[in-house]
Amino acid sequence: MSTLVSTLDDHWRATNASAAEAGLSPEEFAALNARWGDVTAEPGAVDYAEINAGGVPALWAVPHDVGGGVIVCMHGGGFIGGSVWTHRKLFGHLAKAAGARALIVEYHHTPMHQHPVQVDQCTDVYGWLLEQGVAARDVAFSGDSAGGGLALTTVLRARQRGLPDPAALLLLSPWTDMTFDYPSIETNRPTDLLFGDPSPADLHGLAALFLGPDGDARDPLASPAFADLVGMPPMYVQVGGAEMLLDDARRLVARAEQAGVAVRLDVVDGQQHTFQFDAGHGDPADAAIARLGAWVSPLIG
């Protein structure tokens, strides 16, 4: 086993073992997992600045050698965890690879704030960015896990508000289907170190907290897998071959292709959910981020 694989894998193993032994609730598990970002190496030559982006807290990650593009980033964490701080290094690496600034959104967590609060906040940030004079053609959206779904639904909500589409989407192990009605939820359970047994990170429970008692798991603004994808921006999807959300990504890509969307899919064999968190420790995470950057850079100026 390489040093890279053991970095993130050992984090998931240690976190899940502690959580299972203590019998933690989903909220307590999220708090335990707050050190998620520690596995990522510092990108170096990236400056960070907290801002208020249209009433929503956000964090700029600005590489020293940067062009005019902006990547609006939605962090993962099952909607109950994660933050700009757990993800600042990951998105800093992505910003460097793309030669662009990253604007990381600090949206509200469940269960205190349920759908559609999160997508509305992300759309508020995008609208604010456009008001600052940044052209939509110079903007990409990115997100990992729950943030990958938010990146897609923010496009949908922005359209409802009459805002232009961004130029591209970068989706890392995206969670886009809250029904979980696909084979890899079971077939990859033995290999998934985050969501597989004996993890307390129950996907159905996370979805219920996000949707609330009256929520619909097939609502396109919650589960963009059920959205009309015609006219969506070009998208690049990366997913680990060992994770339970593998078929979520595959089905999203298949539906996007059927809708005529330009889409690229990387299934990285043997890798875990959001394996890109191992950035700075070598391949395959560094290679994956380099591919994302090379792909999106010409699309956002």
Helices and strands, number each (H, E), in the chain: 9, 8
Q: How far apart are CA 35 and CA 3, in angstroms?
A: 19
Q: Which of 142, 145, 184, 223 is catalytic?
A: 145
Query: In angstroms, rounded to a whole number, what is the distance separating the alpha carbons of residues 225 and 268?
Result: 21
In the chain, % helix, strand, coil (3-state, to 5) comes to: 45, 15, 40
Active site residue 145: yes
Alpha helix locations (H) across the chain?
A: 3-22, 26-32, 84-98, 117-131, 146-160, 184-187, 203-211, 246-258, 285-296
CB-based contact 242:192 (threshold 8 Å): yes
Contact between 296 and 170 under an 8 Å Cβ cutoff? The reply is yes
- Convert 121-144 to b/e letters by CB count within 10 Å (16 or more is b): bbbbbbbbbbeeebebebbbbbbb
Residues classed as catalytic: 145
